[in-house]
Chains A and B, each alone.
Chain A
Amino acid sequence: MEIKSITSPASFKLSAPLKESPLTEATAINSEICAAGEPWMGRVAKGQTFRIVDLEGNQAVDTLFFNANNLEERYSPAHTVQKSGQLYLGLGSKLYSSNAQVMATISADTCGRHDTLGGACASESNTVRYAMEKRPMHSCRDNFMTALTTFPLAEEIGLDVRDIGANINFFMNVPVLPDGELYFADGISGAGKYVEIVAEMDLIVLISNCPQLNNPCNGYNPTPIKLLTWEATNHA
């Protein structure tokens, strides 16, 4: 078995069209910047719209969703892939929970492809993937741990490491070839591109704005993101 060098396949096709959102920032009820390499955690109520903006482009945004009313129910990449028959996320994708329920639907997307397979970078997996001396580097899993052990919302609801399943990587391009080879390709996102979801249940959102410096998932240069929320009544 040979592992080929990491090169992007010559071309790929989007599985869903792009679509801009009718919502404007002026009507958002919440707008925050999450700095490069930092975690974020918050609530998005059923019916609300949540937008993640890739401010400078090429950023990977590792995102977990939990049912705010039943924390054992959480985003499940396996259910999402299995129920949709589709490996990548895009406009119209339904994000399924571990109880096979729809947690959220992608309602607008100006990027075109988001990853379901790659999960989060971690100190431990960095030693395997890159080199033993990469262990002290900052990672998404450490970000999740930071949030779960220090954020008031996490303490209030009581999540811990057992609850960390595999996440979505918004804006990340991880193509799988028909022969099963998996690549980490250079990003297809760009400055100002965004993805938007409508919550189908009350959600806890946990984000690590990826600090990964070892692969092209964020152009070797982690950058900030913007997080916006709209009330359901603002839907077009």
Chain B
Amino acid sequence: MSSRSSLTTAEKAALSIIPANQNPLWEDLLPGGFHWSARIRRGTVLRLTAQAADANLAALFFNAEEKLERYNAPDTLKAQHTAFLTRGHVCYSDMGRILCSVVTDTTGWNDAFCGVSDAEQIKTQYGLRDFGAARNGMYRSGREGLLIEMGKWGLGKRDLVTNVNFFSKVSADDTGKLIWNADHAQAGDIVELRFEMDTLVILSAAPHPLDPATTYDPAAILLSAFAAAPVAANDVCRTSCEQNGRGFQNTERYFAAMPASSLHSSNQAGA
């Protein structure tokens, strides 16, 4: 799927793996620039819905019960021979297990190597707008947002590894020069993450570090949680490459879980 999809918002929403009549367990609106964290349990789908164009959502993932185990960008990329994430990809921990799977993506590309904006960059690019001047309309950076949320769970700078930037696209030419792909995400674009482990999710909706915008106006992201259907043997993320099959096997061993071959798979038809 190209960036700048021609699909309508309703058509994008219809690509969800969650049936239209299934109610969310909860919903939460993450305002542009703000930060958020929560423990998301295994077997939950978290839907991210961009509320405006040019959204960016920086995300880090930690094993909720052993936070030394965390999202590992190099292992994620090299295991799947990709420099970006989209539907069919998974997010690996540094222990060879799958924290979450990208089961839906209407953008076609989510950046996995650029990291986050920091306070100095935000100030240089957009100007200084602090709480005294703007109250909660203040300008926030991705790094500070992630560190604030991480601090609430006993994590700090040592744990701030390369994050995923959902809704943003950065590619490279044949010399490795980075290319910012403008007009990538549109209002109504959705990414759905199915959590395969109990995961501490850390989010920041501050601007992407390469976003050349001169006004600070990051999009809000609607977070919606749903109960996930069991991961089927023919699940798109499990079967997208043989590596992911082994990643699921490692994850199931961790939970001493029933192998997928014995699970009923009708809910995943067409996945």
Contacts and interface: CB of A to CB of B under 8 A. Distances in A.
A4 B81 CA distance: 8
Interface of B: 68, 72-75, 77-84, 86-89, 92, 94-97, 109, 113-116, 118, 120-121, 156-163, 171-179, 209-210, 236, 240-241, 243-244, 246-247, 249-250
A72 interface: yes
Residue of B116, B176, B178, B241 with highest tally of chain A CB at under 10 A: B176
Contacts, number: 156
Residue of B74, B80, B109, B174 with highest tally of chain A CB at under 10 A: B74
8 contacts: A1-B88, A1-B236, A81-B115, A82-B210, A100-B118, A113-B176, A180-B82, A184-B78
A78 B118 CA distance: 12
Interface residues of A, number: 53
Nearest to B114: A82
Contact of A162 (B83, B158, B176): B158
Looking at chain B's contact residues, is the secondary structure mostly helix, strand, loop, or mixed?
Answer: loop
B96 A128 contact: yes
Contacts of A113: 176
B86 A1 contact: yes
Contact of B78 (A4, A132, A161, A182): A182
B79 A162 contact: no
A124 interface: yes
Nearest to A182: B83
B249 A176 contact: no
A-B pairs, 8 with minimum CB distance:
A119-B74, A78-B115, A124-B96, A1-B88, A87-B176, A88-B176, A15-B175, A3-B241
Contacts of A3: 80-82, 240-241, 243
Contacts of B175: 13-15, 86, 88
A83 to B, nearest CB: 9
B177 A76 contact: no
A124 B88 contact: no
Contacts of B121: 100
Contacts of A22: none
Interface in A36-91: 72-73, 76-79, 81-82, 85-88
A180 B109 contact: yes
A2 B50 CA distance: 27
Contacts of B172: 87, 176, 178
B240 A77 contact: no
Contacts of B179: 178
Contacts of A176: 83, 171-172, 176
Interface string A107-137: 0000001001111101111111101100000
A124 B94 contact: yes
Nearest to B90: A128
A100 to B, nearest CB: 6
Contacts of B250: 124, 127-128
A221 interface: no
A94 B89 CA distance: 31
Given A117-B77, A122-B94, A127-B250, A1 B176 contact: no
Interface in A1-30: 1, 3-4, 6, 12-15
A81 B75 contact: no
B158 A118 contact: no
Contacts of B243: 3, 128-129
A72 B96 contact: no
A183 to B, nearest CB: 7
Given A119-B73, A124-B97, A128-B75, 20 more contacts: A3-B81, A4-B81, A15-B175, A72-B158, A73-B157, A82-B114, A85-B178, A86-B176, A117-B78, A118-B77, A124-B95, A125-B94, A127-B96, A127-B250, A128-B243, A129-B78, A161-B68, A162-B158, A176-B176, A182-B77
Nearest to B155: A162
Given A117-B83, A129-B243, A82 B77 contact: no
Contacts of A128: 75, 79, 92, 96, 243-244, 246-247, 250
Contacts of B83: 117, 176, 180-182
A60 to B, nearest CB: 12
A183 B81 contact: yes
A122 B78 CA distance: 12
Nearest to A76: B115
B62 to A, nearest CB: 11
Interface string A180-217: 11111000000000000000000000000000000000
Nearest to B246: A128
A136 to B, nearest CB: 13
A103 B157 CA distance: 17
A12 B96 contact: no
